Amino acid sequence: MTIPPEPLGSDARLPLGTQLFRFVATGGVSAVVDLGLLMVGMAIGLGPTPAKAISWVFGTLTAYAINSRWTFQSGGSRGKLAAVATLYLLTFALQVGTFAALFHPLEAAWGTTVAQVVGFVVAQGLATAVNFVVQRVWIFS
């Protein structure tokens, strides 16, 4: 399914509900990329933290590529790119740190697969909330 681009340069901002829906839908696609690469990375022998770091980078690139155009209808600029890069670095630390803190206790209690999925969902949810608010309020406002 191809999502047609919205016209750029329009002064009309999409309503909050539309942006939130698009952000969550984009997050779903990005989460599949992220979780899939996390599981592949660990299956080939990477530890949970390096595997999550690598998977996060690719999930984040996917999210930025879609959100900048479709969700926030931005033509992009160096300033926005720098702001998003800074935000992603901060949420990288938040997400990977949250996953790392949760993984081993969850693994001990419920096994590796549950630890991967639950740790991923909690870390992803926290980072997603922070990303949406900052992008909507400060970066793409």
Per residue in 81-108, pLDDT tens? 788 889 989 998 999 999 999 999 999 9
Question: What pLDDT does 8 receive?
Answer: 46
The residues spanned by each domain of the chain are 16-139
Q: How far apart are CA 84 and CA 140, in angstroms?
A: 10
Number of neighbouring beta carbons within 10 Å of residue 27: 23
pTM: 0.68
Spell out the long-range contacts of 98-104 with Cβ–Cβ below 8 A and sequence spacing 24 or more.
Answer: 98/122, 98/123, 98/126, 98/127, 99/48, 99/49, 99/52, 99/123, 100/48, 100/49, 100/52, 103/48, 104/48
The one-digit pLDDT tens for each residue of the chain (141 residues) are 445 444 444 446 899 999 999 999 998 999 999 999 999 999 999 999 999 999 988 988 888 888 888 999 987 677 887 888 899 899 989 999 999 999 999 999 999 999 999 999 999 899 989 999 999 999 888
Question: What pLDDT does 76 receive?
Answer: 66
Question: What pLDDT does 120 receive?
Answer: 94
- SS3 category, 107: helix
Question: What pLDDT does 106 receive?
Answer: 98
